[in-house]
Amino acid sequence: MVIRYAEVNEMKKIIIQLSLGLLILMLISCAPTTHYTYKGAGAGALVGGVAGALLDRNNPWRGGLIGGALGLVAGATITEISARAAREAAINNEPVEYRTEDGRGVYRADPRGYNPSTRCSKIHERVWQDGQLVKDQIKEVCEGTKYERRY
């Protein structure tokens, strides 16, 4: 039985892809999740998959798979950081700021008020990337179940 070099390379590729998939599944299964995390993961996977497919001209399926996997992890992580900071700002009633190690990315959550009838806090959420404001929104963080849609 003769094993060809091309067959060995193909097996290595398959093993690497399966290992990457299992690693991503393990990382995602350990993270505390909310429905926002799933939305962020889905959006990240979609954008990453499209970008990966466009960038890998030799094998767009591979590029889409790798880009989608990386986008999924990035989208879920960013969404979870945003939710955690908003909860911290609401609980402590003081601003929360996260920065990337290189200082290029900044996330800031400022409390803007509490409504005792709905038990919800308004949080002003802003994200800067390379000094430019890329996200600016008011978000609600509620203590329990919110029964009303009005203030």
pTM: 0.60
Distance of CA 19 to the CA centre of its chain: 21
- Among the residues of the chain, which ranges form H helices? 5-30, 35-55, 60-92
For residue 14, what are its two tokens? 């398959």
Residues in the chain, total: 151
Residue-by-residue pLDDT tens, the chain, 151 positions: 556 666 667 777 788 878 877 776 766 665 556 667 778 888 888 888 888 888 888 888 888 888 888 888 888 878 888 888 888 898 899 999 988 888 888 889 999 988 888 888 999 999 888 889 988 999 888 876 555 666 5
pLDDT for the residue 17: 79
Pair 95, 111: CB distance under 8 Å: yes
Pair 123, 90: CB distance under 8 Å: yes
- Residue 130 and residue 104: Cα distance in Å, rounded? 5
pLDDT for the residue 151: 54
